[in-house]
């Protein structure tokens, strides 16, 4: 796996790690980032908490995959990176398709662009 793919895999992992923090640890303060109104926070909080852990696991897979690439287990490392980034890219597509309003586009791009770079760079 080339350097571009590895760098963007780490960036992707860090973005999803930040999403974990915002969704699972500080959602009451960060809910406006997700365009959740104050009165809806109690109803959405458990969903966000759970979703944050999905982001944590995908972030871990991408970052651990890059570490494994450098510690000798190239096949497992590449598999983890490609699975995590493929899943994150497709989740960004689903986010956009489920609500294609212009203000949601930035979230879909934020979630899916870096993983797409990983997938494309891995094919070269």
pTM here is 0.88
Structure confidence at residue 112 (pLDDT): 93
| pLDDT tens digits along 47-98 | 989 999 999 999 999 999 999 999 989 999 999 999 999 999 999 999 889 8
What residues have CB less than 8 Å from 90, skipping those under 6 apart? 112
* CB 28 within 8 Å of CB 44: no
Domain boundaries, the chain: 3-121
Output the CA angle 118-47-32, nearest 5 degrees.
Answer: 80
C-alpha to C-alpha distance for 79 and 82, rounded to whole angstroms: 5
How many Å is the Cα radius of gyration of the chain? 15
Confidence band of 123 (pLDDT split at 50, 70, 90): very high
Maximum pairwise Cα distance, the chain = 50
Up-side HSE of residue 62: CA atoms within 13 Å toward CB?
Answer: 30
Structure confidence at residue 99 (pLDDT): 80
| pLDDT tens digits along 1-56 | 999 999 999 999 999 999 999 888 888 887 777 778 888 888 888 998 999 999 99
């Amino acid at each position: 796996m080339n350097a571009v793919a590895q760098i963007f895999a780490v960036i992707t992992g860090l973005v999803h790690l930040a999403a974990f923090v915002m969704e699972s640890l500080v959602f009451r303060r960060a809910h406006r980032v997700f365009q959740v109104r104050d009165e809806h926070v109690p109803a959405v909080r458990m969903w966000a908490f759970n979703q944050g852990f999905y982001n944590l696991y995908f972030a871990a897979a991408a970052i651990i995959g890059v570490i494994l690439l450098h510690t000798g287990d190239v096949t497992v490392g590449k598999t983890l990176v490609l699975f995590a980034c493929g899943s994150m890219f497709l989740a960004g597509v689903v986010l956009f398709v489920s609500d294609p309003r212009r203000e949601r586009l930035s979230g879909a791009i934020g979630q899916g662009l870096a993983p797409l770079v990983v997938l494309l760079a891995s094919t070269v």
